[in-house]
Amino acid sequence: MTCGAVPVDDVFPHTLHARHRPYSDPGDLERFLTFRVPHRIRYTGEDGIVAFDGVVQVNYEFTTVDSSIRFQGDVRGKTLLDYYDVDVIWSDVNTRTDRFGSVRGLGLVQRLKLWRDNYTNLHSITVFANRSSRQYHEYDIHWFEPELRSRDEREKRVRLNARGRRSSTSEVGRRFSFNRIRPRQRSAPEPGNGASTPTALANPLDIRYLGIQFTSRSDYRQFIEAWAHAHRSDGEFHGVPFPQHRAELESPQIHPYPAELDAGLLPVLESDSEEDDDT
């Protein structure tokens, strides 16, 4: 028997960009998963003796893409809706090119993933920043404007403009870590922020925009459609989370009360109005 313990604070399934295996189907690469953090694996025999118990770097290979997608959703508590290969992703803080003109940005040749949280129903995107922090960054969709004003189909680029740009210098110190280590704590207030608006509707970004250049035109178009749908869905839901300890009551059984009443009531005898009048 094999038991595995996955770290709950920082769980980001990592899959390769299609360019890493040019002769394979891009979608098929979702069958091969790795994690940036090690897992604890324990092997126990039929006699109950532990043969191995240690923390190791693991690789997962699934027989189907669907089973891999379900597994990724289970370990994250989110539903993996789609994935896109991107050539480069950047922001106004981590610019697309450095001072020498070399393409750098946040990440190069990575796979961007779109998620829906099973607790809040809010959407987010994740990407591995291999050119900056070397950590996974997660961005909530509602932190950005719904309309993609700056997009270039020929270059397969979109620009996600952040909502509510910070202009006050007093807020410079309140920087937010892009690495969402506790994705379920969306309703907790941001430290130092006295506003009554829930964090689910607030914008903690310290960037003005996020630029994405896709590898294929099909991924570019699919992302634009998914982006619009995710924004509509988040706008309708308003970021209100489900109760953590909710319990559903059984529906009461519907009894055929009208039929029982008809069968149990005695007929009403009406008096003869003419006889009453004669008396």
The CATH number that applies at residue 124 is: 2.30.29.30
Q: Are the beta carbons of 40 and 4 closer than 8 angstroms?
A: yes
Reference 112, options 143, 132, 82; nearest CA is: 82
pLDDT in the model for residue 277: 52
Per the structure, the count of domains in the chain is 2
Residue 256 lies inside a defined structural domain of this protein? no
Question: Are residue 82 and residue 112 in the same domain, yes or no?
Answer: yes
Question: Are residue 45 and residue 111 in the same domain, yes or no?
Answer: no
Q: Are the beta carbons of 224 and 148 closer than 8 angstroms?
A: yes
Give the Cα separation of 223 and 148 in Å (integer). 11
Residue 156 lies inside a defined structural domain of this protein? yes
Q: Are the beta carbons of 52 and 41 closer than 8 angstroms?
A: yes
Question: Are residue 96 and residue 27 in the same domain, yes or no?
Answer: no
Which domain covers residue 11, as residue numbers?
A: 1-76
* Single residue among 14, 42, 76 that ends a domain in this structure: 76
Residue 55 lies inside a defined structural domain of this protein? yes
Question: Are residue 221 and residue 143 in the same domain, yes or no?
Answer: yes
Reference 53, options 9, 4, 8; nearest CA is: 4
pLDDT in the model for residue 7: 47
pLDDT in the model for residue 179: 42
DSSP state string for 52-84: EEEEE--EEE-SSHHHHHHHHHHHHTEEEEEEE
Sites in the chain below the pLDDT cut of 70: 1-9, 165-202, 238-279
Give the Cα separation of 16 and 30 in Å (integer). 8
pTM value > 0.85: no
